[in-house]
Amino acid sequence: PIWSRQRACSQGRVDEIVKAKAEAPHFTGTIACYEFEGVGAPSVACAEPRAIFDGQHRACAAARLLSSPDFEVDGDDLHADFPLLVEVYPVRSEREVKELYLEYNKGENVREIDLPDAVAPDLKKFIDHAVDALANRFGVMFKPSERCRPPHVHRDTLRNALYHAKVAERVESGAQLLELLLAANERLAGRPKKSWPAKLGAAYEKAKREKFYLGLDSLAWVETL
C-alpha cells in the first residue's frame, strides 16, 4: 500500500519523474515506509502512525501515472499496472524513524529540513511551496549541484537555509514566504554593480540578464528577511 499520510512532496520533483517515466513506467529501488507498532489511527500522542520516509516522490509520481488517462486499457477505466516494491518497517518511536531515514541516506548530505520530524511540518510545506515557485520562475538559475557557482542556487541548500533563518519563526504561509524572497531579490537588484565584488563580474551580468540575484552572495541575504 501507499500510505495516504505521505510527507510533503516537492511538486517540481514529481513533475520531473512523471515526465521521465511517462512512456514506459518503471521504478527501481523500494518505497520505504514506517509503521508504529500497535497504533491504528492518528492521535495527539502519535500524529503520523505510518508514512513513507524514503521514496515519497516516486510514490507520488506513480500515483499520478496510474491516474492518468494515458494509461487506460482498451478505452476502459482500468489502468495498466507496473511493479512498485514497498518495504514497511515497524517502529516504536520517532527516534527509530530518524535512524531509518539516516540509514537509507548514508553517503548523502542529509539536511535537517528533510529529517522525518513532526515538529514543523507546516514550515516545511511553506518552504517547499516558496522555493518550488521560485525555481519555476527562474529555472535556469537553479542547479542540481551543491557546489554550483554564483549566480546559481542549489534548491535544497536554500531550503535548509530558510528552515534555520529567523524568518521561519514568523512566516505563516508559502505565499508569504515567496513574497519575501521576491522582495529580497528586488533589493539585491537595486544594489549598484560597483558594490558587488569584482570577481562576480560575469556572474553579475547573468544575474542581471535573468533578473535573479539571490545566488550572488552565498545566501547571506536570508538573514535579512
What's the pLDDT tens digit per position in 115-160? 555 445 678 888 989 999 999 999 999 988 778 889 999 888 898 8
> One-letter amino acid identity for 49?
P
User: What residues form DSSP beta bridges with 142?
Assistant: 153
- CB 192, CB 213: distance < 8 Å: no
Cα 71 to Cα 67: distance, rounded to the nearest angstrom: 8
CB 58 within 8 A of CB 14: no
**Residue 222's pLDDT is what?**
92
- The per-residue pLDDT for 106 is 62
For residue 151, whether the previous peptide bond is cis, meaning omega lies within 30 degrees of 0, is yes
Is the predicted pLDDT of residue 113 greater than 70, yes or no? no
Per the DSSP assignment, residues forming a β-bridge with 35 are 50, 90
- Hey, which residues does 32 pair with through a beta bridge? 54, 87
- Between 159 and 107, whose confidence is greater? 159
All cell numbers assigned to 54: 524514503
Distance of alpha carbon 144 from alpha carbon 65, whole angstroms: 24
Q: Cα separation of 114 and 194, whole Å? A: 38
Tell me which long-range contacts 16-20 makes (C-beta under 8 A, separation of at least 24): 17/57, 17/58, 17/61, 18/61, 18/64, 18/65
The span from the CA of 35 to the CA of 53, in Å, is 10
